[in-house]
Amino acid sequence: MIKVAIVGRPNVGKSTLFNRIVGFRKAITEDSEGVTRDYVSAACEYRGKRFLLLDTGGFDTESEEGLFPLVRRQIEGLLEEVDLVILLFDGKEGLMPLDMEIANILRKKGRRILYAVNKVDSRRGEEGMFDFFRLGAERLYPISALHQKGIEELLEAISSMVEDTEREVTEQTLRIAIVGRPNTGKSSIVNAIVGKDRMIVSEVPGTTRDAVDIEVTYEEKRLALIDTAGIRKKAKVSSRLEAYSISSAIRAMERAHVVNLVLDATEGVSHQDRSLLHLAEKKGKGICVLVNKWDLLEGKIDEETFETQLKESIPHARFAPVLCVSAKTGKNIGKILELNLKVSKQLGRWIKTSELNRAIQEIQGSYRPSSKDGRELKIFYGSQVKDFPPTFLFFTNTPRAIKDHYRRYVENAMRRKFGFEGAPLRLLFRKR
């Protein structure tokens, strides 16, 4: 699949164009300058031709303020990988010196370029775009990303440069969400996994504001890592933009198969962390707990003791595997994807009906509750009805006798029998 990057100086409408092409609000759009700081990617298809579209941060070749140097370095690295660039301009502001400088950089890189002039909402705007021909473009694409004008022509141009590809099945890609409180090292972990500065990493909490998808291949499996903005308590959400980032992170969890909660080893588990785990379990997601910055605790406590204490504090997700890692030193980074694949296999496991029924007879032989009318519970038989997450349907004489404590008893017994590490279980009881 070829890669198509949208590049331009800050605030020319790159994210709006990205969202218009992708068809849903994947990148954060707001009028403040430089809102998109990581590059965001999405697989797109137009008339049977597929391409990976990348939205980038504002390209400022001179600014040394804030995150601009990091964004510039990241885009320069990205240009080594992309096949086609949509160079976007602001038709209302006209051709700016920075536009010409960016165009020169792209030409030196030898990249194919489509020149698109955004915010052309009227005939007068079209007349004002001729100044952009000074860049040496053979053709300009006048568009209005906001009002969906000219998008079709731009897509036609992209598709003409894209080789026909077979439709890939989205479900074949394992989607892994990396979530957690701000500044726990989520992006550092992703960078360590991918092996390059794919995310912007800085000491400022909240550097990652978009939910960013990164496609990787591991053990011949296609994976998509979703790095998210840090999730805070509502009282600490200081702006509309940050509130949108949080909702974006929660939606990323919904898209994922496996959720990786990143903890700071020096801070332990917070109420917010427990809420995230509870949300992931409630949504039926596989769960891994990554304890980052382990280098700061090395020698002070052994991993087994730490894991035991940690699981005592997360009752909703004691089934989740815990991995102590350090993005700084590289400790156990190579085990993260392997762990996620193992959890994925547990999510997709099917138990034979005969094995399940032998197990359930053993389980209820040890303990049977009674209903209010004194009738003893009897589970006659059951079968697995679904995976992702594994879901089991049991037929019983009195479903009302099944209280939460007995449901937990059955689940724990099934885990001892079958494993299911990292996978939430769904137990359904019906009257026969």
Residue 333 lies in a domain: yes
Give pLDDT, residue 160.
Answer: 85
Evaluate whether 290 touches 331 at the Cβ level (below 8 Å): no
Dist CA 362 CA 366 (whole Å): 7
Instruction: Read off the tokens for 241.
Output: 């933009």
Residue 13 lies in a domain: yes
Is there a single domain that holds both residue 319 and residue 232? Answer: yes
Residue 410 has pLDDT above 90, yes or no: yes
Is there a single domain that holds both residue 334 and residue 364? Answer: no
pLDDT, mean of residues 124-131: 70
SS3 290: strand
Q: What is the DSSP string of 171-189?
A: GGSEEEEEE-STTSSHHHH
- Parallel, antiparallel, or unpaired: how do β-strands 221-227 and 212-218 relate? antiparallel
Residue 166 lies in a domain: no
Helices (DSSP H) in 25-135: which residue ranges?
68-78, 97-109, 123-127
Q: Which residue has the tokens 């597929």?
A: 50
Is there a single domain that holds both residue 237 and residue 310? Answer: yes
Instruction: Please indicate whether residue 46 or residue 367 has the higher confidence score (pLDDT).
Output: 46
Dist CA 145 CA 165 (whole Å): 27
Q: Lowest mean pLDDT: which of 172-176, 199-203, 335-339?
A: 199-203
Give pLDDT, residue 245.
Answer: 46
Is there a single domain that holds both residue 120 and residue 236? Answer: no
Backbone angles phi, psi at 177, to 5 degrees: -95, 135
Dist CA 347 CA 386 (whole Å): 10
Dist CA 226 CA 74 (whole Å): 18
Is there a single domain that holds both residue 131 and residue 208? Answer: no
Evaluate whether 217 touches 223 at the Cβ level (below 8 Å): yes
Q: Which of 137, 160, 183 delimits the end of a domain? A: 160
pTM above 0.75, yes or no: no
CATH number of the domain that 233 lies in?
A: 3.40.50.300
pLDDT, mean of residues 262-267: 94
Residue 228 lies in a domain: yes
pLDDT, mean of residues 333-358: 94
Residue 360 has pLDDT above 80, yes or no: yes
Beta strand ranges found along 8-156 (DSSP E): 40-46, 49-55, 84-90, 112-118, 140-142
CATH number of the domain that 371 lies in?
A: 3.30.300.20
Residue 298 confidence class, pLDDT cut points 50, 70, 90 = confident
Q: Lowest mean pLDDT: which of 111-120, 164-173, 306-315?
A: 164-173
Instruction: Read off the tokens for 127.
Output: 């007349």
Dist CA 410 CA 229 (whole Å): 37
Is there a single domain that holds both residue 99 and residue 182? Answer: no
Residue 199 confidence class, pLDDT cut points 50, 70, 90 = very low
Dist CA 197 CA 77 (whole Å): 9
Contacts made by residues 128-133, CB under 8 angstroms, sequence distance 24+:
128/91, 128/94, 129/91, 131/94, 131/95, 132/89, 132/95, 132/99
Residue 86 lies in a domain: yes
SS3 102: helix
pLDDT, mean of residues 8-29: 76
pLDDT, mean of residues 15-31: 66
User: From residue 316, how far is each of 275, 312, 320, 360, 421 by CA, in Å?
Assistant: 9, 10, 9, 23, 13
pLDDT, mean of residues 224-245: 58
Is there a single domain that holds both residue 208 and residue 277? Answer: yes
Q: Please give the mean pLDDT across all residues of the chain.
A: 81
Is there a single domain that holds both residue 10 and residue 77? Answer: yes
pLDDT, mean of residues 385-402: 89
Residue 229 has pLDDT above 70, yes or no: no
Dist CA 163 CA 22 (whole Å): 19
Dist CA 112 CA 146 (whole Å): 25
* Domain extent at residue 376: 353-431
Number of structural domains found in the chain: 3
Residue 146 has pLDDT above 60, yes or no: yes
Give pLDDT, residue 13.
Answer: 92
Evaluate whether 205 touches 245 at the Cβ level (below 8 Å): no
Dist CA 360 CA 224 (whole Å): 37
Instruction: Please indicate whether residue 171 or residue 345 has the higher confidence score (pLDDT).
Output: 345
Residue 165 lies in a domain: no
Is there a single domain that holds both residue 334 and residue 190? Answer: yes
Give pLDDT, residue 232.
Answer: 54
Residue 125 confidence class, pLDDT cut points 50, 70, 90 = low
Return the CA Rg of the chain.
26
Is there a single domain that holds both residue 123 and residue 253? Answer: no
Residue 22 confidence class, pLDDT cut points 50, 70, 90 = confident
Residue 375 lies in a domain: yes
Is there a single domain that holds both residue 42 and residue 73? Answer: yes
Residue 404 has pLDDT above 60, yes or no: yes
Distance, CA of 404 to chain centre: 32
Is there a single domain that holds both residue 97 and residue 111? Answer: yes
Q: Which of 160, 181, 209 delimits the end of a domain? A: 160
Which of 135-149, 151-165, 224-238, 278-292 is most confident?
A: 278-292
Residue 208 lies in a domain: yes
Burial track 325-343 (b if 16+ CB lie within 10 A, e otherwise): bbbeeebbbeebbebbbbb
Q: What is the DSSP string of 310-335?
A: HHHT-GGGTTS-EEE--TTT-TTGGG
Q: Which of 160, 180, 197 delimits the end of a domain? A: 160
Instruction: Please indicate whether residue 65 or residue 151 has the higher confidence score (pLDDT).
Output: 151
Give pLDDT, residue 418.
Answer: 97
